[in-house]
Amino acid sequence: MIPAKAFILIGGKSNRFGSPKWKAVIDGITVLDRIWGACAEFEYRFVAGKEKYSELNKLFIQDKLKFNAPINGLYTALKSTNSEWNLLLSCDLPLVESDIFLKLWESKNENCNAVIPIANGKIQVTCGFYHKQILSIIEREIQIKNYSLIKLLEKLNPTFIEFGNDNRFWNMNTKKDYGKLLQYITEKD
């Protein structure tokens, strides 16, 4: 059991995808249910977003702020938690698995306040652990309308964990991405 909370973000408008990404189905399971299952090792799991959909049967926390950006989800998570460490996880990453979170969790140390994977040549800011102590830094960034999690990391003390080329970090933003992902899964099986 990971003594932390997991916050799964469903709050984006999904403009590029055309419908809520978390409802997309992969191998008969919605993206949200896949990610929820991958987070089973956490003490508590929550879904964070703009609105609670009637078919959503999971613990839900509504975004505290009006704008659309992952930093809003992180702000909402850290305002709502009493855990020191919290996982921020986006529905853009439907293939994540629990061993990713265990590796990140085991990599945290007393000198860092974020543990972030690097995979496929990208810093995966929406699949990382963030310490509650960074809330005041986030608030300052939001006040000056700096909504970039990458830029936020410049003000933190992150530990980066390299995963190399790893399809579990497949980023699904568009229907085209979704189609490629489904093709990948079919070919893999």
Nearest to 72 by CA among 83, 82, 61: 61
* Residues 174/87, Cβ–Cβ less than 8 Å: no
Cβ burial 175-186 (10 Å sphere, 16+ → b, else e):
eebbeebeeeee
Q: Helix (H) and strand (E) counts for the chain?
A: 6, 10
Residue 23, classified by CB atoms within 10 Å of its CB into exposed (0-12), middle (13-18) or buried (19+), is middle
d(CA 113, CA 131): 5
Break the chain into its structural domains and give their ranges.
Answer: 2-188
pLDDT confidence of residue 13: 61
Does domain 2-188 sit in CATH 3.40.50.920? no
pLDDT confidence of residue 12: 63
Q: What percentage of residues in the chain have a pLDDT greater than 90?
A: 78
pLDDT confidence of residue 52: 78
Enter the pTM of the model: 0.94
Task: Give the residue ranges of the chain where pLDDT is below 70.
Answer: 11-15, 189
* Residues 10/48, Cβ–Cβ less than 8 Å: yes
